[in-house]
Structure 1
Amino acid sequence: MARLCGYANGGGGLVHAEAAFLRRAASRLSIVDPPESQNTVAEWVNQTGGRTPLGGLWRGDTLMKTLSNPRMAGLDSEGNPIEGFGDTVLTPDEQRGLLEARAAIRGEPVQRRESYDYLLTKGIADCDECGFDLTGGRVHAEAGPNYRCQDCGKIRMDADRLEPVVAAEVLADLLRPGQHEKLLRLQQDALEEAERLAAHIKDADSRFASLKAFRDQMVPDAYKAAEKATKDDLAASRARLRFLEQITGVPLSDPRDVVGWWNTAPRASQRGLVMLSVAKVHVLAAGGGAVDPRSRIRIDWRTSVS
């Protein structure tokens, strides 16, 4: 069975050249006025050099079927995020928007969008009151996405208020004297660590084989403990590599270009720049009356990639 275009294997791992043309194709297919047919977009992909995983030309129905696959957005068949999947070709919202657009073009009823790809979850933002990492959610089905502390419950902030001010601070920081060079050094450190981790992960089979060779010479409990430690190390290494891969792919050659890049960058890439620049975003409790969202954040800027 051929692999899913855009991914190196079933568990994720982007093939960046394929992901790039799939994202562009999804953007064109999401335009309702004037709409483009699936075959027109597939022909454009073929003309620009995009190929299927087996090296063939794209057809409209095959391209749409590929982009509609839940794994394009890191989801399982039930629409739930796949744990540890890593970077995705499309965000859940991008894929849902594509499906809604094609339904509208066909004259079918469009369901309300429910999913949202949060910029500052996964440990980036926390509650300034108790230090608990913020999670994303909605107060009720009709509410917009928001961040909240599920521990003390004292912090809640709408995503459309929190995310733009953090993005503005990150982009402004990049333009300050000396910051561009600092981020380049951090990114290079991350790249070197990612290369070491990739080699470490690749060598996992030999480590397991070596451990198995000594199995008969070890106390059973000691062997189980060593096997568990080896598995835990592999899992931690893979998680760390996924983190590093997000920040090594951010284009930093010219800091002035990053501002324009941000506006069209995939969510995972935007998150990569935030993770490269920011160690933690602390969200403060709201005061009385209309509060400037900038007064509700405190940022710890990153000095290393650890």
Structure 2
Amino acid sequence: METAVEDLAGRRSEAATLYGKRQLSSDAFVSADREITANLKDTRARLRYAERMANFSLGEAEDLVRWWNTALPASKRAIARLLLEDVEVFLTSACDVRTVEPGRVVLHWRKLPGLSDGRWGRRLV
């Protein structure tokens, strides 16, 4: 994520240089700057959460549940982004179903190189 922040800052600088040399229109520069700024804001926020979570100690299962129940939605979202690559939600079998049916939600867990292939010591099962 740090590399992404540096890349976005470089893109912003390049756009400003092109605009300064009159190789980029004002509308194009404003549009590019708006998009880069939004991406920078999102990436920096994710980086801050990742840095905080790097020092996070899970403790016991009860501690994690207690934290989750009182955590801010942004913190929960950050944990989910760190752990999950994608979430698929399929249609219900009937209208107005208020429970999650088995197989309706599929979680795609993030796989980190070196951690999931057993090279980092014993595997937890």
SS in structure 1 opposite 2:45? Answer: helix
Secondary structure in structure 1 of the residue aligned to 2:65:
helix
The answer to whether the aligner puts 1:252 opposite 2:67 as a matched pair is no
Larger Rg: 1
Does the aligned pair in 2 maintain the 1:247–1:269 contact within 8 Å?
Answer: no
Does the aligned pair in 2 maintain the 1:194–1:245 contact within 8 Å?
no
Please give the root-mean-square deviation of Cα atoms over the aligned residues, in Å.
3.7
Among 211, 235, 239, the residue aligned to 2:42: 239
Cα distance in 2, alignment partners of residues 208 and 254 from structure 1: 43
Q: 1:252 touches 1:258 (CA, 8 Å); kept in 2?
A: no
Contact 2:5 2:40 in 1 (8 A): yes
Q: Is the 8 A contact 2:4 2:43 kept in 1?
A: no
1:293 shift after superposition: 1.9
Counterpart of 1:128 in structure 2 is none
Partner Cα separation in structure 2 for residue 199 and residue 284 of structure 1: 36
Please report how far the alpha carbon of residue 198 of structure 1 lies from its aligned counterpart in structure 2 after TM superposition.
Answer: 6.2
Does the aligned pair in 2 maintain the 1:247–1:275 contact within 8 Å?
no
**CA positional deviation for 1:233:** 3.2
Equivalent in the alignment of 1:301: 109
What displacement does 1:253 show? 2.6
Q: Equivalent pairs: percent with the same residue?
A: 23
Give the C-alpha shift of residue 273 in structure 1.
Answer: 1.0
Partner Cα separation in structure 1 for residue 43 and residue 6 of structure 2: 10
Distance 1:212 1:287 in 2: 54
AA of the residue aligned to 2:18: L
State whether residues 87 and 106 of structure 2, in contact with CA within 8 Å, keep that contact through their aligned partners in structure 1.
yes
Equivalent residue in structure 2 for 1:211, among 12, 15, 18: 18
- What letter is aligned with 2:75? S
1:263 match:
69
CA apart distance, 1:283:
1.9
Question: Which one-letter code corresponds to 1:303 in the other structure?
Answer: K
Report how many aligned residue pairs link the two structures.
104
The SS at the match of 2:107 is: strand
Cα gap change, 1:195 to 1:249, in 2 (>3 Å):
farther
Q: Deviations over 1:262-282 (max 9, x none)?
A: 121112111111121122222
Counterpart AA for 1:302: R
Quick check: 1:279–1:302 contact (8 Å CA) kept in 2? yes
Deviations along 1:163-218, one digit per CA (max 9) or x if unpaired, are xxxxxxxxxxxxxxxxxxxxxxxxxxxxxx147516854994x5455334422xx4
TM-score by length of 2: 0.55
Residue of structure 2 equivalent to 1:281: 87
Distance in 1 of aligned mates of 2:89 and 2:11: 41
Q: Distance in 1 between matches of 2:87 and 2:4?
A: 29
2:29 aligned residue (203, 213, 227): 227
Q: 1:247·1:272 contact (CA, 8 Å) conserved in 2?
A: yes
Aligned residue identity for 1:233: I
Q: Is the 8 A contact 1:279 1:301 kept in 2?
A: yes
